[in-house]
Amino acid sequence: MNALQQRIRKEAENLGQGILKVTRFLNHQVDPLLLDQCGRELASRFTTAAATKVLTAETGGIVPALMTALYLRVPLLYARKTKPITLPERVFQTTVASHTKKRCEDLFVSPEYLQPGDRVLLIDDFLAFGHTILSLASLVRMADATVVGVGVVIEKAFEEGRIACNSLGVPIEALATVLDMSGGEIVLA
């Protein structure tokens, strides 16, 4: 996606250790027009998947997942990182390691909204090591639902998350792929 690649080239920062800072347009301050384009493009890549839900993790994946769900005309469900009292006693729960936060976090989804038979498209802002996507897939399996695809805004190919996620046996789509950040630059595919 040209507009996304241009923004990465112009505004993203390589902070070292594989950390790509895109807070100017993706996951702190959000460019709604750019994310609208991203959602439309991700939805177009998964039109034949017949998803009944889009699932992401709080918080970085919410905006791209919302825009994708909008164009697919299906509900967005996001895994919560804390369990509020509004969730039922029995929930689907898993843990995910966060590379940028340097800690593990719990993810919670209510069985009210993720049910057997659901066809779930996983959407996130990044695909790095694959931890978040695999944790979301675990929640889907707990519900006896089916993962039908994985879509991400930015893939950091050098961290091999796609290889880890290939075990899901579903299509994986990235709108922009970073091949290398080791020399201080951001090398896009």
Q: What is the pTM of this model?
A: 0.95
Find out whether 161 and 155 touch, Cβ atoms under 8 Å: yes
End-to-end Cα distance, the chain: 11
How far is it, in rounded angstroms, from Cα 116 to Cα 23? 36
Ordered structural domains, the chain, with CATH: 2-188 (3.40.50.2020)
Provide block-wise average pLDDT over 10 residues at a time, the chain (189 residues).
95 94 94 98 98 95 98 97 83 84 88 97 97 97 98 97 97 98 93
Query: Could you tell me whether strands 172-180 and 187-188 are parallel, antiparallel, or unpaired per DSSP bridges?
Result: antiparallel
78 strand-pairing partners: 56
Strand order in the sheet with 53-57: 76-79, 53-57, 119-127, 146-156, 172-180, 187-188
In this structure, what DSSP letter does residue 22 have? -
pLDDT score recorded for residue 132: 96
Q: Which residues of 60-89 are buried (b: 16+ CB within 10 A; e: fewer)?
A: bbbbbbbbbbebbebebbbbbeeeeeebee
pLDDT score recorded for residue 32: 97
pLDDT score recorded for residue 99: 67
Task: Provide CB contacts within 8 A for 41, sequence distance 6+.
Answer: 1, 175
How far is it, in rounded angstroms, from Cα 118 to Cα 45? 19
